[in-house]
């Protein structure tokens, strides 16, 4: 039986530009796609998502090599690089499209996610309880091309400087051992 090392994880942690930039830098992450999931309409566009009325979250689909980084390790990065205790909000971004969510692809991911949330709450890692939604992945729609690889294409833009750079700094200081080799100091 062939051991399938390639797996998929889908996270929503506010603006997908932020989460995409974080996960692109991890060793074992092969591809990150910004998109929309968890909503009610087919083939939504960004202009519809921003209204908050479609039910979709801005999310990222991560393709990763589980022999290099585990789903649990991805979750560790996810919970450290956004605020999982604010309902439908990350910083100044407000609305259900910015909710914290893990969209699991199988029961193992669901169980691991629920256990991590329980552990973090019991350990009092955050001042408030975690409100991250844990939901089975449904349809995932790729965001428009201009949203893909956004930070790498627009790193001097104000939003990137003030919102994404601090997340990347935290990633580098907390998970330096998980960074792609070319990013390690």
Alpha helices in 65-164 (DSSP H): 71-80, 107-123, 150-154, 158-159
Set 9, 10, 12, 15: catalytic member: 15
User: What domains lie within the chain, and their CATH numbers?
Assistant: 6-178 (3.30.1060.10)
What is the Cβ-side half-sphere exposure of residue 21, based on CA atoms within 13 angstroms?
27
DSSP state of 163: I
Tokens encoding 63 = 């393709």
* Number of neighbouring beta carbons within 10 Å of residue 173: 8
- Is 15 tagged catalytic? yes
Tokens encoding 92 = 């100044």
pLDDT in tens, the chain (185 residues): 345 799 999 999 999 999 999 999 999 999 999 999 999 899 999 999 988 889 999 999 999 999 999 999 999 999 999 999 999 988 888 989 999 999 999 999 999 999 999 999 999 999 999 999 999 999 999 999 999 999 999 999 988 899 999 999 999 999 999 999 887 66
Contact 27, 77 (CB under 8 A): no
């Amino acid at each position: 039986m062939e051991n399938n090392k390639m797996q998929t994880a889908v996270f929503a942690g506010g603006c997908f530009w932020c989460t995409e930039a974080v996960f692109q830098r991890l060793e074992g992450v092969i591809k990150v796609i910004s998109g929309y999931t968890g909503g009610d309409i087919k083939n939504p566009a960004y202009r519809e998502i921003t209204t908050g009325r479609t039910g979709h979250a801005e999310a990222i689909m991560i393709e990763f090599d589980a022999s290099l980084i585990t789903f649990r390790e991805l979750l560790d990065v996810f919970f450290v690089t956004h605020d999982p205790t604010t309902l439908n909000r990350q910083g100044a971004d407000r609305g259900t499209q910015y909710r914290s969510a893990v969209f699991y692809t199988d029961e193992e991911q669901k169980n691991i996610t629920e256990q991590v949330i329980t552990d973090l709450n019991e350990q009092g890692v955050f001042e408030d309880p975690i409100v991250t939604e844990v939901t089975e992945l449904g349809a995932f729609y790729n965001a428009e091309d201009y949203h893909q690889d956004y930070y790498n294409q627009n790193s001097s833009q104000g939003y990137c400087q003030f919102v994404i750079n601090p997340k990347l700094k935290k990633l580098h200081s907390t998970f330096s051992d998980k960074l792609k080799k070319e990013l390690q100091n």
